[in-house]
Amino acid sequence: MKNSTKLMATAIAAVAILFGTQVKAQTTTSTDSSPWRLGIGVEGFAPTGKLHDISNIGIGGTARLQYGADKGLAYTLTSGYYNAFGKDVNAATSFGTIGSKSAALGIVPIKLGIKAYFADNIYFGAEAGAGFETNYAKNTKLILAPGVGYSNHSWDIGARYENFSGQSNNYGLVGVRIAYGFSL
């Protein structure tokens, strides 16, 4: 568990340093006339509920297409891939404790959503969609995900809770997304 936490902290720090150095080299303009934007993001998350039984940590990558309907409202379409890494589990048997590793769980989310800005660059987001498990029983889950975030001309940083429900096996995650976006 300590190694996976260190790995996640290192990955987030590396992404922050990489993106932080690029931010200083870029200039922003307010002349974008297109309401369309595309953001490419890196995700880190902590599993909750039944997913926490098999995983302590996960990462992913997503692309988000965004349409600015109004100055304070945008519609989104998000998809990508999440991977919840399997964790070491111990099972008690009549012969003693047996250690093994849970299999990882992969999910392909497809979500529609809104971003409502309630202050300069700060928004409340809500998404709903489907999550397609890529292993185990290959179930399809209903996804509901409220969140908050900060975005500017190039960057979008958000935190959310994502709930997956269906087939009597419900779980969730608490996630953070760091994305670089550009006008189309």
Structure tokens at 38: 């595309």
pLDDT at position 165 is 96
Residue 97: is its pLDDT beyond 80?
no
The pLDDT value given to residue 77: 98
- Return the number of other C-beta atoms located less than 10 Å from residue 143's C-beta: 22
Distance CA 46, CA 26 (A): 32
24 is a domain residue: no
Residue 78 contacts residue 64 (beta carbons within 8 Å):
yes
Other CB atoms within a 10 A radius of the CB of residue 61 amount to 14
CATH code, domain with 79:
2.40.160.20
Q: Which residues pair with 67 in a beta bridge?
A: 36, 75
Q: How far apart are CA 39 and CA 183, in angstroms?
A: 9
Q: What is the percent of the chain where pLDDT is above 70?
A: 78
Q: What integer pLDDT is reported at residue 166 of this predicted model?
A: 92
Cα(126)–Cα(164) distance, integer angstroms:
14
Q: Does the pLDDT of residue 114 top 50, yes or no?
A: yes
Instruction: For residue 125, tell me if it sits in a domain.
Output: yes
Q: Can you read off the two tokens belonging to residue 155?
A: 């960057």
Each residue of 132-167: pLDDT tens digit? 999 877 899 999 999 999 999 999 999 999 999 998
Q: Domain for residue 25, yes or no?
A: no
Number of CB atoms found within 10 A of residue 175's CB: 22
What's the domain count of the chain? 1
Q: Which residue has the tokens 């992969």?
A: 106
Contact between 62 and 78 under an 8 Å Cβ cutoff? The reply is yes
Pairwise CA distance, residues 34 & 183, whole Å: 7
Confidence of residue 12 (pLDDT cuts 50, 70, 90): low
Q: Is residue 30 one of the residues assigned to a domain?
A: no
Tokens of 3: 């190694």
Tokens of residue 142, six digits:
């209903």
Write the DSSP assignment of 134-179 as a string of letters. Answer: SSTT--EEEEEEEEEEEE-SSEEEEEEEEEEE-TT--EEEEEEEEE
The parent domain of residue 162 ranges over 36-183
Tell me whether residue 140 is in a domain: yes
Instruction: Quote the pTM value.
Output: 0.77
pLDDT in tens, 40-77: 999 999 999 999 988 999 999 999 999 999 889 999 99
